[in-house]
Structure 1
């Protein structure tokens, strides 16, 4: 398969740490010229990447950012996230900001990048989440936004074909520098990892390599698709609760 992105220019939003940094590193390794954008500069510059500051919630700044690029072949809408927050623990304004960052901002960036991507017959990769396909207590607004993002990508894929391909990576649990905020200490991470059929959390590089594939010539006939990157998903709770004899 041809996964080379040599000579391509790729923008990775939120590409300064965690999953975004893993994606940026994978694109650089595949030969792309990588521009990462976020509100704050990375503590350590990733080799083979260029950082440009950008607040994705400012439409004028987003349009100016993409207009300043000499060319654009790939846009990875990775920026997003949410703190743990039950619905009744905050007002609608806080939940709306989560939806804005995880759904409206990718739409804003995609629209700003449209003309550049159309001229290059380029590709958009949305970074979705398994939270968009299952109940997400404590991150309901985030899950709703990710569900909307996957639907948005499928609609974009139809409207913008054949010039622009649009796909989604549906990502499960990932080990990052912030894993302790979600899963606790190392023993907690290990316990959570045990619920994944492959026996471990994803690494940012796992997500990065999948994103490179969707953006590469090897995926030239893939658009409107959702690729699951979740290690087999989550072990169904009923298997542990059932009293019937287990298979050895």
Structure 2
């Protein structure tokens, strides 16, 4: 049956930023599809809650609290997966993000920090995971990029630049790791996570964003976790080096900060 291609039975996945939002939803989706999952983020309590949801599916979760802004901590998750479960098949590089700010308030250190948090951590884990994947049946990497890596808007310079770099990193890594490891990315639009709490809880702002989105709604985490599962599973077996745009049809930001001309 075609639905069987969306299953990942007895695979082992690492998901970063897994304590909430897209990361948590992706980890649970992979578990529901048959995978055991290594969960990592800063807050152990949140990870424990996600681990309980995974246990309810009948799969296992291994919790690794860590500051993933340090690429060395991200890389260590590959060894943690092999030590706990004996293999590693799937990686979801979800951790990332950068607060918006005007160009003149974005110094080189902030730009480098955005690059490290959004790109260097993904590379560190992917590089560490590759030997374990190659020792088994191969694997799949899914990077969480953003629509802001493709469109322009004031205030997004550091974040958009880093996410654009992650998108092209995906293409280059896919070329290096083919044919046994697939590497794809998702360019995510506005999704109802804690990062958008201020917007989601403000009826006026939410309505404005929805009207500026062709599909007329803010995304749900399940919209993204379903895309993660597609790319990680045999359903996406003929895709590598691709960036899927799960953004509600955006061709421009649906949240402008009203930054004035200089």
Normalising by the residue count of structure 2, what TM-score does the alignment of the two structures yield? Answer: 0.84
Give CA-to-partner distance per residue, 1:83-113, whole Å, 9 cap, x none: 1221212432122111110111111111111
1:51 is paired with a residue of what secondary structure?
strand
In the alignment, the residues of structure 1 paired with residue 252 and residue 80 of structure 2 have an alpha-carbon distance, to the nearest angstrom, of: 46
* 2:116 is aligned with 1:100: yes
Q: How does 1:129-168 map to 2 (within 5 A)?
A: 129-168=146-185
Q: Is the 8 A contact 1:56 1:105 kept in 2?
A: yes
Report the equivalent of 1:125: 142
Q: CA deviation at 1:235?
A: 7.1
The answer to whether the 8 Å contact 1:197/1:235 transfers is no
Work out which of the residue numbers 199, 202, 215 in structure 1 matches 2:216. 199
Contact 2:153 2:252 in 1 (8 A): no
5+ residue gaps, structure 1, are 238-248
| 1:64 positional shift | 3.4
**Greater fraction helix:** 2
Q: Which residue of 2 aligns with 1:7?
A: 10
Rate the CA distance shift 1:73–1:236 in 2: closer, same or farther, 3 A: closer
Tell me the CA shift for residue 183 of structure 1: 6.4
C-alpha displacement at 1:66, in angstroms? 1.5
Measure how far apart 1:184 and its partner are.
6.3
- Gap change, CA 1:51 and 1:187, over 3 Å in 2: farther
Q: 1:97 to 1:114 in 2, by over 3 A?
A: same
Q: Secondary structure at the match of 1:24?
A: helix
- Residue 62 (structure 2) aligns with: 50
TM-score by length of 1: 0.88
What is aligned with 2:37?
A: 34
- The residue number in structure 2 matching 1:91 is 107
Counterparts in 2 of 1:62 and 1:18: CA distance versus 1, 3 Å = closer
Runs of at least 5 residues in structure 2 that lack an aligned partner in the other structure:
55-60, 255-262
The question of whether the paired residues in 1 share the 8 Å contact of 2:99 and 2:159 is answered with no
1:220 maps to 2:237: yes
1:59 offset after TM fit, Å? 4.1
Residue 241 of structure 1 corresponds to none
Kindly state the Cα deviation for residue 225 of structure 1 after the two structures are TM-superposed. Answer: 1.1
Deviation string, structure 1 residues 156-195 (Cα, Å, up to 9, x no partner): 1111111100001111111113313456613311220121
Aligned residues: 237
Q: Does the residue aligned with 1:202 lie in a helix, a strand or coil? A: coil
Cα 1:63–1:188 change in 2 (3 A) is: closer
- Alignment root-mean-square deviation, CA: 2.0
1:27 to 1:158, Cα distance in 2 relative to 1, 3 A? same
